[in-house]
Structure 1
Amino acid sequence: MATQQAEAVTVNDITVCSICFEKFKIPRYLPCEHSFCHDCLSSYIVSQCKSKEPRLEFHCPVCRQYIPGDGVVNKPEDWVSLFPVNETLQTIVAQTSKNQCELCLKNNEKATTANYCWTCTMSLCELCTKWHLKFPALNDHKIAPFTEIDHTRSTPIFGVSNHCPKHQNEQVQLYCSQHEQPCCGLCGATEHKKCENVELITIAAQSLKVSGKFNSLIKEAKAFKEKLLLANSNLKNNISEIESQMDEKKSRFESEFRSMTQHLEKLKNDFLDEMSLTLKEGKEKLQGEIERMENGILCTNSCIHGLEMAMNAANETEMVVKLSTSADTFRKLKKSHLKETNMKYEMAKTVGFKQIPGMQRIAVVNLNESASLIEFEVEKISLSVFKQLTIEKGNISSGFVLSGGNFLAVNETEGTCLMYDEEWKCHSVINNLVAPQDITQNEEGIFVTIPVLNRIEVFSSRHFQHLRNIPMSDPRKITSFEGNVFVSSSRSIMNIDNTWTVKKIHATNSDISDISVTRKGLILLSLANGKIMAINSKGETAWEYKSSYLKEPRGLHVDSRDQIYVSGRESNNVHVLTNGGTLIRVIANIANPLFFKVNEMRGAICVGSGQKNIIFYKF
């Protein structure tokens, strides 16, 4: 750690570590000739490797040169011990801390150091330096003032150590061909005792020279380099692709938003016009009622006046006539059903309009990540179990590798979706489903088929929130490709496009056990009659595959190289096919596989063994 001492030292002080700015403590040097404290370099390596997968290298803190990690891939904390201690620099640090001439000290004298002899690895004062150079035998010694010593001169030439990697004090004497590892005699007598071909390092060197192994490895490395260059080019192209995709989506969204804004503006204007018309209609009705009420008032006044005149009539005849006329008019007025009208303005907002204030966002933006291994030869891979889980409650019906590498399993009986994270810990992420059957994912979200309810439920990929239901008759198996979702019922294949339109594209004569899609867009069907069928988007058959060694084919999976994996449930194996339907290999001894999902991001394979077990394999 840097302290206030850093203010007192210069950048060119070779006795100071450039990470902690303190005097070197066990300095170790890298192939680029820069030295650092043991603890400083260890902490730096670990911090640099923390976010990397796989952990293969780091860069020098000073010059940024690529430094390969020679230790165990997943243990960068152990790498620092494999770099040699800079004993020369360690000596200089020790001597400069004393600041005394080594020769004078041997004679019990004290003198301030001024120079350093590289040959003797000794600090000298000015006087001892003069006498040092006067002896003919010492004329060729390299002496330099301490102020002129730099890191390059203080670092030994970095070379391959002849010491045993496991026993630093032992010289390499043997070579184990079985493990392709040089070792010392102690390793040969212990760790490699039972190895068949352990020979002297000199004999092994001659054998390696004539074996052609160097040329073979160079050829293999160059071929791998070409794969890396291609992958690197694809990564750079991917940046342009996602930029183009985002520009396209932004443009489409802005167009849709403008259309929605224009539509909302039209709805607003129509609504305001409707309000004006409604107000006008209400005012006209009320005005008519006011006129009728005022006429009633006038009529009543007339009746009152007639009655008053009748009371004061000059003779009885006039009195009776006026009374009768006024009373008759008043009776008619009362029977005319005059009413007091009251109007109130009401507005019933539509459901869609009410939901707008509650919107938290217009859309959920996700970056779906997938990965493919640079070196993945399915013909050569061997599997080893590293984790096995038993589902105590319910039955597993299917599984799916999500973008990002997490694995999702569908528990049909319990109505849940179980997610296994990067540490293979289980989380229940979707609950309260009714007998879910299968699952897939695309940019719209996660799709779960619910046959008993005749619908597909859609959830967000990030937080697993329910988004919508898609009604469909008997949806069972499901897969997706470039925005389209393909769903199987008992004997037919349906397509759901990005407008949620459902259409039938193919019918079969046999029940469908599973479906998938290749990267070329071929729809794969696993049929109950034992066939694997590939059809195009028009429903035309591209190829079929059937084997006597494949019994009860169930789950289908397509990896990043468009290789197809067919789970043979009764034959206890998995058939690997090309995208043209040609057999590549049969992976045997996979017990009762319901599905076989290759998780390239994690270097693992997830297998549903029966309906109770999920087995995770490393490859």
Structure 2
Amino acid sequence: MASKMTSGDLDEQFLTCPLCMLHFRDPRVLPCLHTFCRECLQEWATKQQPLECPTCRTQVSLPDQGVDGLKTNFYVNNLLDFVAVKKGAGPGVPCQVCEGGQDGDKSWCVDCAAWMCDLCTTVHRKLPGTKEHEVVPAEVLKAEKDVSKFQRKRHCHKHKNQELVFYCESCNALVCTACTVVDHRPGNDHNPVEVSGIADDKKDKLRQLLSHVDPRLKEMQDALKEFDKETMKLDSSRIESVNQATSYFQHLADLLQKREREILSQIDATYRGIGRTLESQKEAVESGFSRLASARTFCRQAVDYENEMHIVEIGEQAQRTVEGLLLERVNLKPEQDKVQFSERVSVTDFKNDVERLGVVSSTVNVDVSKCRVVTKTPVVGLECTSVLETADEEGQAVAVSREAVSACLTGPKGNTAVPTQLRAKDEGRVWEILYTPEVTGRHRLEVMVKDRDVTGSPFDVVVRSRESAVITIGSEGNEEGQLKKPLDVAIDGDGNVVVLEQVNRRVQVFDAGRGNVLKCFPIDNDGLFGTGTDSNGNLFVTSFGESYGIRKYSQEGELLATFNPEYLRHPLGVAVLQDGRMVAADKQQKSCLLLQPDGSLIREIGKGQLQDPWFIAVDQSRGLMFVTDNRAHKVVVFDLEGNLKFSFGKRGPNRGELNGPTGVTLDPAGNVIVANKADGRVQVFGPDGTYLRTVTTTRGAPHGLALTPDGYVAVACYTGHCVELYRYK
């Protein structure tokens, strides 16, 4: 049995609020087990959001009642009573009721926690509301040495004259006898038991927890000593690295002097980063040590105090807090890595690699909270990539070694690991995580640096089927970011998706990775249909009707030029060649027009060979243009001289057959991707028109197509009012 606290053991720190530095007034306990005055906490809460503990900086979530809903620290209250009793038992202390009777005998009311003279004591014992209070003469109290004897009685807030002697396990609340008859009647909803019946059990649990605290504190103390040792070694280690670098650069003469300064600066910066990292680690251990030691003190007070109601009320909270502190992952081992200077290029070859001479790397100053992982929606059976960007505590990119990085992808059932590979980029500052999932469903990707999870790890990675859209851009509407009957898509120079809307008469540009809208500008024309981009990022838009023609816009939406010659009567799809020439499909003339960059006609292509040309894709490496003929249900191929080369497709629902073909685009290998408006299929054909595979079947009457640089095919779903991105490779 632990010894009781006596008057000789009392320390002023137990009675002083860390905020106001005065004796506690209505002390309240935060979830982290630190105690403050109620008024101090209320004032503190008005100054910051979210609320943090003033001592350990742990974020605090207050109850619905705010500070008033926090538990009272009755142990501190009784310490204050003990001090007040000892002080009040001396001569010259006035009665706390009538403020007189300094020289007469006094008595202490345990319930009111107040000194009273003989006259007030007599009245106190006669009043109906206080006659049941426990009143103790001063001479009895003078001889008392045990703090635990000074315990205020706890009364029910609803039944003022009733002591709290029961604990409702269902409600997690102390209740009185009257409450067990009215509000907490035993049954399915309530289970009141006597306080003494569960106090011992909660004490035992706290004692068991305390047996694990001291060894943990000892580990932290030892770790703090190691941090101090490593910090002391930094200077000598830094000097050694500087000497290595200086010796190397002396052989490179004048051409390397600038690079030498850069390397020395990197070394100094790295060691400063290591020092900050060690200091940060040390502070984390010190913080954990302080919080655990504080919790230990609190729990020991609760256990030794032997106030059953207090232990019942606070025991569960204390247990959860200590358990949480014991489970905290604190790195108790200072990083042992040393910064090394590496010769990347021999002296004889340095002229070709001056910018790459030497590299300073270390994993000590990596801050996992500043590292970032970017995941893209993976598709079953295809190699997928997530990207890890490593950074230091200031958020700056920092190189790490292969041994420092690990990644693990588990399947939907959690017990099947998917093989992963790591590939370094930017000299180890960026790491690609490669994997090929075999099943669809929710996977979990755990990414660690130096055996610590990066922020957000493990990540949820939802693997989709090949036929599912990995990103859907937009929904029906007129607001920015929404779409209404999108007709065509293109890819700008930054890899973003450019969408042309017919009803809203505008262009919107979206991020291909997330689907977020980046910019939006109006197109003040009716009959919008096709769009394309040139090598400078300019945007071309076709329209038919009274405002027919081709219009050229800058990336910011500024109208640069308008081409509406009389020979261009009903333009639909448009493609722009690298040299600025344009090819437009003309529905009225049933042909395609090859135009100069100024809009003048070069030649008409396909006259008499096309029935209803819609969209165009050009393979400039072979000098071929692919035209979808919507009414003929085929793709017709011409060279840029106007000669018919071949065609493929016929009407039908089977593989390789077409049904109202619309959008067409090419992949880097020359394969042809074609969308069917009538049945929603998006199919892939070889350069010679041989059927290869079906990408997907949409439900939104697909029109324009485009292929993103990272291997997604974007489909403008006309009646679906969106653009869907499918994994293509």
Same fold, judged at TM 0.5 (above): no
Instruction: Give the structure-2-normalised TM-score.
Output: 0.38
Q: Which has the larger radius of gyration?
A: 1
Q: TM-score, normalised by structure 1?
A: 0.44
Of Structure 1 and Structure 2, the greater helix share is in: 1
